Amino acid sequence: MVFHDTIVAQSTPYGRSGVGILKISGSKSKDIAYKILKKIPRERYAQYLPFFDDTNTIIDKGIALWFSAPNSYTGEDILELQGHGNPIILELLIKTITNIDHVRLANPGEFSQRAFLNGKIDLIQAESIMDLIHANSEASVKSSLRSLEGLFSKKINTLIQNVTKLRVLIETIINFPENNIYISEKKINKQLNNIVKYINIINNIASSGNILKEGIKIVIIGEPNSGKSSIFNALLLNNVAIVTDIKGTTRDLIHENIDIGGILFQITDTAGIRPTNNKIEILGINKTWEQIKLSDHILYVLDSTIDFEKSYQKFLNLISKFPNKTRITILFNKIDLLNKKLFMKKHYQIKQSKIYLSAKTGEGMELLKQHLQEQAIDPNIYYYAEPIFSARYRHLKILKKIKKRIQNCKITWKQLNNIELLADDLRIIQNYFNQITGCVTSEKILNSIFSNFCIGK
């Protein structure tokens, strides 16, 4: 695909930095190279050259890289200039470059859009690049990279191949009845079942990719004054939540993201759960319950100075209302106020994981972080096992639709045994797959995806 305009953008973040990179893509890249560098750099070699402005004055010196079409990221001629990260110099360079006719600043995501439209990357890979730019923890970055290598595409393609095989067989039966090809009902059912099974596997793995991007949801709950907000602040190393000795201080939910050992967590501080007539507090407690339902892991805080039997009984009463599979850890807070060893003896009957800590002195806080990390990489809990790749909600939504459609198609097939209807269903299912891989996709979807990109990508 040939684009009329040549585009330029700064790939590095704005502001002063060690290196500032400009990326140029399009048919005018050669003219730009002659103007700025007085030559076209040797292809795929890093060359140290002076950069000239409109008045032929040297404004910077740096590395220039040249990639000829079609062997470049976008499939077009690409020039990359790596100069000093000085905003004034970079702006002057951009001004010099855009003074050439049909050269303009790139829109967000336009480089990747061109790469996609020129068949250099598929839609899944394009979306992964966006994930990569926005990924905010180390593990998320790795997950996005995996998708970029096309792992998700590979799995989806295997699935498409299975659907296509079945489709081809069925279309052949319909269109060439003289060939007398026969396929048993049982065999068709088996193939449809296999497709559903494969979708389930992809869904499980893809969901873990989303967990990574969003952060594993941790909610801190417990009785008023047990020290929930203090623990929340200690985890974040920041006094985000208000702490007082007045019961019912926290009313609203407070969410913060935190990176522990490369894994992203979303931690939420909540209103203490207790019977109350205070209208605002009741609203806060309702919100706490809503958050509990959304969470992957509940941290239940107990004040160690309060009679254990009583507070543990309260905890046991609440636990029956928690969602089934949610992980629970009891945090015995304020251990700075008592003799820990004597205190721990009483807890042999506790089945849940427990940690002794003091938000005040910091004792046990590292242990808590380690614990959160360990739980997060337990494959039985978060399906965090290899291979993880990042999948957008759109993919998951389409997979859901496909699964539903296949289930319906199985029912219709069983009831009516109509091979034409089955062929129709399979065609629709294949179209859904195309929405994932981007073979057929409306311009509207495309534009909305690429407009989420950063400029310079």
Residues in contact with ligand GTP by CB under 6 A are 224-230, 243-245, 247-250, 272, 333-334, 336-337, 358-360
Cα–Cα distances (Å) from 412 to 173, 404, 423, in that order, read 18, 12, 12
Choose the contact partner of 227 out of Mg ion, ligand GTP, none; CB within 5 to 8 A by kind: ligand GTP
The 10 Å Cβ neighbour count of residue 267 is 25
Choose among ligand GTP, Mg ion, none what residue 306 binds, the Cβ cut-off being 5 to 8 Å by kind.
none
Rounded to the nearest whole angstrom, what is the least distance from the CB of residue 272 to ligand GTP in the complex? 3
Question: Which ranges of 327-392 would DSSP assign to H, the alpha helix?
Answer: 340-345, 365-376, 379-382
- Is 305 annotated among the ligand-binding residues? no
- Quick one: 11 or 250, whose CB is closer to Mg ion? 250
Contacts of residue 226, defined as CB under 8 A and 6 or more positions apart, other chains included, come to 272, 301, 302, 303, 306, 333
456 a known binding residue?
no
Q: Looking only at Cα atoms, what is the longest distance across the chain?
A: 88
Q: Considering the complex, what minimum distance in angstroms separates the CB of residue 237 from ligand GTP?
A: 15
Q: How far is the CB of 304 from ligand GTP (least distance, A)?
A: 8
- Residue closer to ligand GTP by CB (options 245, 443) is 245
Nearer to ligand GTP, 172 or 244 (CB): 244
Q: State in angstroms the smallest separation of the CB of 311 from ligand GTP.
A: 12
Cα→Cα distances 284→115, 252, 279, 281, 453, Å:
49, 5, 9, 5, 37
> Annotation-wise, does 403 bind a ligand?
no
* 60 marked among binding-site residues: no
Is 397 marked as a binding-site residue?
no
Known binder of ligand: residue 230? yes
User: 31, 101 in Cβ contact below 8 A?
Assistant: no
Toward ligand GTP, which CB reaches closer, 227 or 438? 227
* Least gap, CB of 347 to ligand GTP (angstroms): 17
Q: Residue 225 or residue 311: which is nearer to ligand GTP going by CB? A: 225
Q: Is 361 annotated as belonging to a binding site? A: no
Distance in angstroms (rounded) separating the CA atoms of residues 41 and 90: 20
Closest CA to 118 of 25, 12, 31, 21: 25
Give the neighbor-by-neighbor strand order of the sheet with 78-85.
47-52, 58-67, 78-85, 17-25, 6-10, 103-105
Judged by CB, which is closer to Mg ion: 195, or 241? Answer: 241
Spatial distance between the Cα atoms of 41 and 320, rounded to a whole number of angstroms: 69
Written as six digits, the tokens of 13 are 């973040």
Listing DSSP states for 199-267 in one string gives HHHHHHHHHHHHHHHH-EEEEEEESTTSSHHHHHHHHHTS--S---SSTT---S-EEEEEEETTEEEEE
Which tokens go with 181? 């090809």
CB of 228 to ligand GTP, least distance (A): 4
Q: What mask of x and - would describe binding to Mg ion in positions 220 to 259, judged by CB under 5 A?
A: --------xx-------------------xx---------
Consult the annotation and say whether 249 binds a ligand: yes
How many chain residues bind Mg ion (CB under 5 A)? 4
Contact 79, 33 (CB under 8 A): yes
**Is 172 annotated as a binding-site member?**
no
φ, ψ at 348 (rounded to 5°)? -60, -25
Of residues 254 and 406, the one with the C-beta less far from ligand GTP: 254
Query: CA-CA distance, 165 to 300, in Å (whole number)?
Result: 52
Q: Is 435 in the site for Mg ion (CB under 5 A)?
A: no
| Positions at the binding site | 23, 80, 120, 225-230, 244-250, 269-272, 457
| Positions in the binding site for Mg ion (CB under 5 A) | 228-229, 249-250
| Positions at the binding site for GTP | 225-230, 244-250, 269-272
